[in-house]
Amino acid sequence: MDYTLSDLYTWSEKIEKMAVDCGLEFYPQEFEIVNYDDMLAYEVYLGMPSRYPHWSFGKAYEKLKTLYRYNLTGLPYEMVINSDPCIAYLLKENSLLLQILTIAHVYGHNDFFKNNRLFKIGTDAKYTIESFKNHARTIRSYINDPSIGYENVEMVLNAAHSLKLQIARTVGERKLTQEEIKQKLLDTYNDQHSNYNTLEPPKEIDPPDLTKIPLEPYEDIIYFLMEYGDLTEWQQNLLSIVREETKYFIPQIETKIMNEGWASYWHYRILQKLDLPQSLHLEFIKRHNDVVAPQRGGLNPYYLGFEIYHDLVERYGEDKIFEVRLLDRDESFIRRYLTEDLCAKLNLFEYKKKGSDYVVEEISDELGWEKIRSDLSNNVGMGLIPLIRVTDLNKKDKCLFLEHVYDGRELQCKYAEETLKYIASLWGARVELKTIMDNKKTIISCDEQNKVSIITYAQ
């Protein structure tokens, strides 16, 4: 440790002033200086050590520890929580320069949390910490309730975790009421009826079935199970808690590249302006280059985001990126601002797995860059999660029908089977999932005894 607490105060004050001068706007900032073990725990519990207990956090801990031990991943410099006040953990063992760089980086994140559209409408920073604590308290009370107990809670949590990303993905979208959906379906039907082409023979259009459940394909599987399943109150509450916590994390999933790029852009700018003494300046350049270094075999979000902002500033000035950080998410960020020149500069390429080899599919030349841009923008954020929807429910035998919205990417079969088992056990009846495997229509079904069968239809 080559610094004192008062060093940190001095530097953070300079940094904060600089951040304001640059136009950043943030929540009040609090830093906690933690040691290595506590940082591990904070990381595993995503910054909330008060989170509810589940073995998956234990697994994450062991895994992270192993990764650090074998030097497979670098030590975290910081960890920032989207809350108001914004809380960040700094690793005690870091050098003074790393602390300075990290503090500047944290102000970037803080500004992003406060201003980006998804965070603004999707999360409630004021109540973040308190709501996580409440959730943990509720779940612990179920664990301590002798009529429920740890294992029953664990079973529901296992299932809820497997479905947690199958929730409505559009942040801030208002749920239509049943009545509004019915009206919408009727309107569409009436339109089709009155606007048919008089030159063509009249087509029979069936009126919509307004007793169907769900009325139209429904994205939010967890919510559907809560609404229509036979769950007890505590089971519903568990699902609801996992769903709420996921909703809090979705903006982070959706803006990983933008958020890290933004923080990296600002730590770089602020440290440039800080007038660092020569010795610190050299370390700054080195550390910064480590953070935004390209990564072989993958894409470093810090690097990609940093380069895109940098390019935007060069072409349009700094105002442009403030507008971008307000409105975009990774998908639109890449679709709009990853240019041909940038693709070429970063030497982006796309690969696919063929047999046991990974083979280059596209490179960033004139012919390939557009495909790379469009495929990449479809493979970030929630775009990495397959979209599964509830399509129908057989009221006689309660069989639940799901469909995978196929876009050329196949489901991993074993994972789909196991996830269906979770759904079937919560639902208490047969569940069927329609998808496409090897270009063939496929139905994976799982009955209430957790027996899985797969039917493939010929083309």
Partner 1 sequence: MAIFREFNPIERDRSIEDRRRHRQLTEETIKKNLADILSEESIIGESKDKKIKIPIKGLKEYHFIYGKNMPGFSSGNGSEKRGDKIFSDNSAQGQGKNGAGSDPGEEIYETEVTIEEIIDYLFESLNLPYLEKKKYSEILSENSCKKSGYQKKGIPPRLAKNRTVVEKLKRKQMTKKFMQEAGLDQELGRFPFKEDDLRYFRVKETKKRELNAVVICIMDTSGSMDQTKKYLARSFFFLLYQFVKLKYLNVEVVFIAHSTEAKIVTEKEFFHKVESGGTFISSGYNKALEVIEENYNPNNWNIYAFHVSDGDNFTQDNLRAIDSAKKLCSLCNLFGYTEILPGMFSSNIKKKFAEKIQAKNFVITTILKKEDLWPALKNVLKKDSKEG
CA distances from 406 to 17, 374, 387 (A): 50, 17, 8
Which of 379, 392, 447, 452 binds partner 1 (CB under 8 A)? It is 379
Show contacts with partner 1 in window 163-202 (CB under 8 A): 163-166
Taking CB under 8 A as the rule, does residue 386 contact partner 1? yes
Piece in contact with partner 1 (CB under 8 A), picked from 31-39, 192-200, 201-209, 448-456: 31-39
Nearest Cα neighbor of 292 from 283, 282, 284, 302 is 302
Which of 194, 200, 206, 296 binds partner 1 (CB under 8 A)? It is 296
Q: What is the CA radius of gyration of the chain?
A: 25
Taking CB under 8 A as the rule, does residue 133 contact partner 1? no
Beta bridge partners of 149: none
CB of 26: closest distance to partner 1 in angstroms?
10
Show contacts with partner 1 in window 42-101 (CB under 8 A): 44-45, 49, 53-59, 61-63, 66, 85, 92
* 127 versus 358: smaller Cβ distance to partner 1: 358
- Listed as own residue / partner, the contacts of 405-412 with beta carbons closer than 8 Å and 24 or more positions apart are 406/435, 406/436, 407/378, 410/435, 410/436, 410/437, 410/438, 411/386, 411/435, 411/437
Which of 2, 298, 449, 458 binds partner 1 (CB under 8 A)? It is 298
Taking CB under 8 A as the rule, does residue 41 contact partner 1? yes
Which of 128, 162, 255, 264 binds partner 1 (CB under 8 A)? It is 162
Taking CB under 8 A as the rule, does residue 351 contact partner 1? yes
* 331 versus 362: smaller Cβ distance to partner 1: 362
Taking CB under 8 A as the rule, does residue 456 contact partner 1? no
Q: How far apart are the first and last CA of the chain?
A: 66
The pair of three-digit structure tokens given for residue 357, joined into one six-digit string: 């080899």
Show contacts with partner 1 in window 256-275 (CB under 8 A): none
Phi-psi domain of 439 (left: phi exceeds 0; alpha: psi -120 through 50; beta: other): left
Angle (CA) 398 404 408, round 5°: 165
Instruction: Burial-class residue 112 by CB neighbours within 10 Å (0-12, 13-18, 19+).
Output: buried
CB of 317: closest distance to partner 1 in angstroms?
26
Show contacts with partner 1 in window 395-414 (CB under 8 A): 404, 408-414
